[in-house]
Structure 1
Amino acid sequence: MAHMLIIEDEPAIRTVLAEVFKSAGHDATLAADGMEGVAAFRAQPCDLVVLDLMLPKIDGFAVCELIRQESDVPIMMLTALGAEADELRGFELLADDYVTKPFSVKVVLRRAEALLRRAAHAPADGADGLLRCGDVALDPAGRTVSRGGRPVELTRTEFDVLELLLAHPGRAYTRDELLALVWHYEFASDPKIVNIHVMNIRKKLGAGLVATVRGIGYKLGTA
């Protein structure tokens, strides 16, 4: 059983999300605005945060940033704004997923549980040795990345994408394969999620590190 924190100002949505999580064996704390959500997060540990973007008092972007300063708990953002710029900003603030309203509560549940599986499978200890590409080194055990000996901060998802590519150099992955292997999605989802995380990896570690394979997806490139 997982404990969810639902930060959503629309009572009907809060209620239906709490009910669908409860039906799947989880429980939830509910918050109606950003300040209440931050207070609830600090008062009780949770396994996943479901966070609306358009919140009173403190908006979802600010809440996400505050939570990320204190925890790497998975965050799923919910919003009526479907603009790519808003999605990019959410991912830049280290949200793990982004769902646009209106949505199916069953899909939200499945995506939330996929995030929980990812968090549960993130190793505290990994295989010995570093994965390398040029001057980029990834430590699976310590979950750290460096370039030229200098540490580079990646999000949980960026780390997982890069680790997969480094562990299988030369193999090209489709976006659907990456969604299944990294996000643990067992159903169709928006491939833009993959594109955005690859773009962020390239910004942090160099444009050549992840190569685009035309008509397929991505593979490890050169640092």
Structure 2
Amino acid sequence: MHVMIIEDETSIIDVLEAYLKREGHTVTSETNGRRGLERFHEEQPDFLILDLMLPDLSGEAICTDIRRTSTTPILMLSAKAAEAERIQGMMLGADDYVVKPFSPREIMVRMDAVMRRVKPPSEREEVWSFQQGELVIKPKERLVYKRGGQLHLTPIEYRLLEAMAAHPGWVYERADLLEKVQQDGFYEGYERSIDVHIKNLRRKIEEEPSEPKWIQTVFGMGYKFQGERDA
């Protein structure tokens, strides 16, 4: 797997590179945020480890830019441990968030956890179509189309949509959905963080996010996917 690191502390890069290469990964790194973003778009890595606080271009800005066109898993690093900072990182599209200082082994385990979440099982159906093809999900490719146009969802957003769309009309509590995105036990989310991802998902699939058609809130319980499956 090609892993890119954008981090201004060379000591952290050196340690992570050593561990990643030992695991058989190809590693590229940048200490400059702007150059790192350019190289990301040029090289299209399989995984990004991104520092939140860079001197020239913030990790938030980099993450926002990447999420406009890419669903590449992002592991965000930060010295900020406050809950608000963690929520902000997830809202921007990060798939996991690790607070400094950390052990390199923890990073390896968290990377594996994220990749297991986004890896599609081979037994999934090829195409799920709803409302006469208005919304189409291709589980094997992990692709989602709305009226023929591809949507760019983060791995967590996709997993939430797929879980709910598999059983239209079922009501999922937040704890159920949280379990869907932390089957490995290393995504340090909490039930209310699901609301953040649902909000971001609605922005992408709904015509009017404030009046959702596809993902509806069941007050006091959770969420459900409301779409009629095509034959």
Q: Report matched runs for 1:113-152 at 5 Å.
A: 113-121=112-120, 126-131=125-130, 138-141=135-138, 143-144=143-144, 146=146
* Inter-CA distance 65–24: structure 2 relative to 1 (3 Å threshold): same
Report the secondary structure of 2:194's partner residue: helix
> In the alignment, which residue of structure 1 is the partner of 2:78?
79
Q: Tell me which amino acid in the other structure corresponds to 2:120.
A: H
Letter in 2 for 1:65: T
Residues 170/39 of structure 1: CA separation in 2 closer, same or farther (3 Å cut): closer
* 1:12 counterpart residue number: 11
CA 129–65 in structure 1, closer or farther in 2 if over 3 Å, else same: closer
Moved over 4 A (4+): 149-154, 170-177
Q: CA, structure 1 residues 166+122, in 2 after alignment: closer, same or farther (shift >3 Å)?
A: same
Q: Within 1, Cα distance between the matches of 2:70 and 2:22?
A: 27
Q: Is the 8 A contact 1:169 1:219 kept in 2?
A: no
Larger RCO (CA under 8 A, 6+ residues apart): 2
Identity over aligned pairs, percent? 33
1:162 aligned residue: 161
CA distance in 2, matches of 1:67, 1:222: 30
Superposition pairs for residues 61-76 of structure 1, below 5 Å? 61-76=60-75
Corresponding position of 2:89? 90
Distance 2:69 2:203 in 1: 24
Cα distance in 1 for partners of 2:105, 2:177 equals 22
Q: RMSD of the alignment, in Å?
A: 3.5
Q: Structure 1 residue 203: deviation in Å?
A: 5.4
**Structure 1: how far apart are the matches of 2:24 and 2:177?**
28
Q: Which residue of 1 aligns with 2:196?
A: 196
CA shift, 1:187, in A, is 3.9
The change in CA–CA distance for 1:85 and 1:41 in structure 2 (over 3 A counts) is same
Give secondary structure in 2 for the equivalent of 1:106: helix
Distance 1:6 1:63 in 2: 12
Distance 1:185 1:195, change over 3 A: farther
In structure 2, the residue corresponding to 1:140 is in which secondary structure? strand
What TM-score do you get using the length of structure 2 for normalisation?
0.72
Question: Take 2:54 and 2:90, find their aligned partners in 1: how far apart are those partners?
Answer: 18
SS of the residue 1:130 aligns to = strand
Residue identity matched to 1:181: K
Give a deviation string over 1:127-149, Cα, whole Å, max 9, x none.
Answer: 334146xx995311283354xx6
Q: TM-score, normalised by structure 1?
A: 0.74
How far does residue 24 in structure 1 lie from its aligned partner after superposition?
2.4
Q: Please list every run of 5 or more consecutive structure 1 residues that lacks an aligned counterpart in the other structure.
A: none
Q: Secondary structure at the residue paired with 1:51? A: strand
| Amino acid aligned to 1:220 | K
Q: How has the CA–CA distance of structure 1 residues 14 and 173 changed in structure 2, closer, same or farther, with 3 Å as cutoff?
A: farther
